[in-house]
Amino acid sequence: MHYYRLKEFNVVFEDIQSKRVAFHDALVKTGSKRDWSHILRQKGWFCFTGLSEEQVAMLEKDYAIYMSKTGRVPVVALRTSEIGYLANAIHSVMK
């Protein structure tokens, strides 16, 4: 039983890591001058974007993107197909 749990955790970990890489790469692809490498170094289910409360409010109002007011993104909940949309929206509110 222990082996199977570790295997399941590994699958979840790999999924989160691949989403982190995709999110980072999408942010870089937008042409953003910001250093997003911290997203790759962070661990866990969430990543911190460094967005201000005002920028988070703009994402909600203009793009229907919801996250904590501190700019924390739940990486585990990201859909791979929507990462580009999120990255472009973040880039837009940071201009």
Residue range 2-93 forms a domain whose CATH class is alpha beta
pTM for the predicted model, two decimal places: 0.89
Start-to-end Cα distance in the chain = 51
How far is it, in rounded angstroms, from Cα 70 to Cα 67? Answer: 8
Per-residue pLDDT of the chain (95 residues), as tens digits, is 677 777 888 888 899 999 999 999 999 999 999 999 999 999 989 999 999 999 999 999 999 999 999 999 999 999 999 999 999 999 999 98
pLDDT of residue 10: 84
**Domain boundaries along the sequence of the chain:** 2-93
Encoded amino acid at 60, one letter = E
pLDDT of residue 12: 84
How far is it, in rounded angstroms, from Cα 56 to Cα 9? Answer: 31
pLDDT of residue 54: 97
